[in-house]
Structures are given as C-alpha cells and as structure tokens.
Chains A and B, each alone.
Chain A
Amino acid sequence: MSFTTAFHKELLEQRRTRRFMIAIVVLVLFGMTSPLLAKMTPQIITMIPGGEAFSMLIPTPTINDAVAQYIKNITQFGVLLALVFGMGAVAVEKDKGTAAMTLSKPMTRWSFLLAKFAAMSVTFIIAVLVAAIACYYYTFFLFGELAIGAWLVLNGLVTLYLLLYAAITLFYSTLTRTQYVAIGLSFGTLILLGILGSLPGIGANFPDALISNASLIMMGETPKNWSGLWVSLGLIFLSLAGAWLVFRKQEL
C-alpha cells in the first residue's frame, strides 16, 4: 500500500528533522516543571521583592493546581508545536517540488496526506504519553497520587486537542504554497475557536470544552456535555477530507 511507504518516510522525517525529539523534550519538560511550579508558587512569590505582602493571600497549592498548570502548559506549547510542525507539511513540499516528484509515481494523494497526519499523531501521542508519565511522578512526589484512570483520560483528551490543530494546520498547508500563510490561518482559527469556546451557553460545544471536561474528570466529576468532543472529531475529519478534496485536483 502506498500509505505504508509514505508513512515510513514521514516517520523518518520526524526523526531526522529532530521534530520527534523536540516534541518529547518540550512536553516532558513541561510535564516535570508544571507540578514543581505549582508547588513552589508561594515560595517564588516571597522571593520577589515586595512579594512577601502577598504570600499570606496565596492558599497552599494543591494537587489540582499541579494538574491545572500541566493542562495549561501542555495545551499551549503542544498546539504551538502542532502549528509549527504542520505549517510546512504540504506547502513546502509543493513549493520545493518534492511533492511533484513523489506524486508523479504511483503514490495516491490521499496516502500522501494521511501519512503526514498519521506521523504527526504518532509524535504527539508518544510525546504526551512521556510527559504524562513524568508529570505523574513529579506530582506524586510533591502532592500525592493522581487517579490513574482519570489521568489517562485527561491526557487522551489533551492529545486529541493537539491533533485537532495538527489537522487544521495540515488543511491550510494544502491550500497554500507558503508555510507562513498556513500558520497564520491556523493561528486565526485557534483564536476564533478560543473565542467561540469562551462564549456563555454555546461555548461548551467547541474544542476548548475538551480541556474543561478533562479537568472536571480529574477532579472526580462527570462532565455532562460531550458535544465539544464530537465537534473536535468532526473538525479533524473535515480538515482531512477538505485537504484531500483540495489536494486531489491541485497542480503540482
């Protein structure tokens, strides 16, 4: 199958261009530092000149602060990586002419695209997994045990959230030949979805709800509204299908 060939090449590319390593190192570092920062926040504030006055006002950090810190850092920097890794995926191959070399051979365009998304998924799944393990141990030493089941669900949702932005960026990357246009459009979409997600009432139907549901689960609650999950999955599907529809007839 031409997908296997393309996938093999994409995985090699993730390794050779150091993207695989970068994703793991960045997310693992945040997995380690997030609980540590949460724990040390009161001490850090007292070290700041004039901070002593506030130290009384700051409650003792809890395990939930560690989780909140982790979610915030991993999603922020993970999405940034998804945008940076995805922006050139197709745009640069079109611009340089490598896509034309490959696609004038019996390689389907669908395989070519899907392999890129699949390889990025592998990178992010592994990176989040390693970060989750690191964070689990740091939290364990600093605060106590995390509920493993909920922790896995949380990380699964975070990964899905990152893959959504990888898919969206891949879509924009097929639209253009300039990677910076692709990342610009992705960034715009990120902001738009963020605004939509923060609107009262309908906000829970957008991808950001994945993250709020994840923290609810972590706190032992059961989220009622899962439409954000379906919307995210739908958006991933639409991005990939849209990318294929555009790419199918594109001249290289």
Chain B
Amino acid sequence: MSDLTILTKYLPLLIPIALLQFGLLVAALVDLMKRENTKGLPKWGWILVIVFVNLFGPIIYFIFGRDE
C-alpha cells in the first residue's frame, strides 16, 4: 500500500481527530486573547506553546496558563 492509499483509507477516521485538535487549539487561542494576564509564561510564550506543542500545548495552557 502506498502512503496515499493509507491516507485516503483512514481519512474519515483522521478527520475527527484533526478537528478536535484544531478546535482545542482555537479555543485555547481565543481564551488567551481575551485574557489580560497569564501565569508562568508571557502571552506570546503561550501562543508558541499552544501552536507548536502538538495536542498538549493547548491543554497545558488551559491547566497552567490561565490567570483569573
């Protein structure tokens, strides 16, 4: 099987995963933008973490970065 056929075969299964991850990323960024202060890292630092740390970036932000 070539890589492409694998991809097309599993695509219906990959889409929900990608959507969930993307949704989480967007939710984290929106939350970050609305916030004046963050904990642990400055705002731009959290943007980097959210965008570049796959899956766990947004989660780590939600747990540790939100400063109310």
Partners in one complex: yes
Are A25 and B24 in contact (CB-based, < 8 A)?
Answer: yes
The number of chain A residues touching the other chain, given as a range, is 20 to 34
Are A22 and B55 in contact (CB-based, < 8 A)?
Answer: no
Minimum CB–CB distance for B38 against chain A, Å? 14
Asked whether A36 and B10 contact (CB < 8 A) given A22-B59, A29-B17, A43-B1, the answer is yes
B63 within 8 A of A: yes
A174 within 8 A of B: no
The number of chain B residues touching the other chain, given as a range, is 10 to 19
- Provide the A1-30 mask, 1 if CB < 8 A to any CB of B, else 0: 000000000000000011101100110110
Residues of chain B from 1 to 32 with CB closer than 8 A to chain A in the complex: 1, 3, 6, 10, 13-14, 16-17, 20-21, 24, 27, 31
The number of inter-chain residue pairs (CB within 8 angstroms) is 39
Instruction: From the candidates A25, A43, A141, A142, name the one contacting B6 in the complex (CB within 8 A).
Output: A43
Are B63 and A84 in contact (CB-based, < 8 A)?
Answer: yes
Chain B residues with CB below 8 A from A36, complex form: 10, 13-14, 17
Asked whether A32 and B62 contact (CB < 8 A) given A25-B24, A40-B6, A40-B10, the answer is no
Are A29 and B20 in contact (CB-based, < 8 A)?
Answer: yes
* Chain B positions near chain A (C-beta within 8 angstroms): 1, 3, 6, 10, 13-14, 16-17, 20-21, 24, 27, 31, 55, 59, 62-63, 66
Query: 26 A–B contact pairs at CB < 8 A?
Result: A17-B66, A18-B31, A18-B62, A18-B66, A19-B63, A21-B62, A22-B59, A22-B63, A25-B59, A26-B59, A28-B20, A29-B21, A29-B55, A32-B13, A32-B16, A32-B17, A32-B20, A33-B17, A36-B17, A39-B10, A40-B10, A43-B6, A47-B3, A84-B63, A138-B13, A141-B13
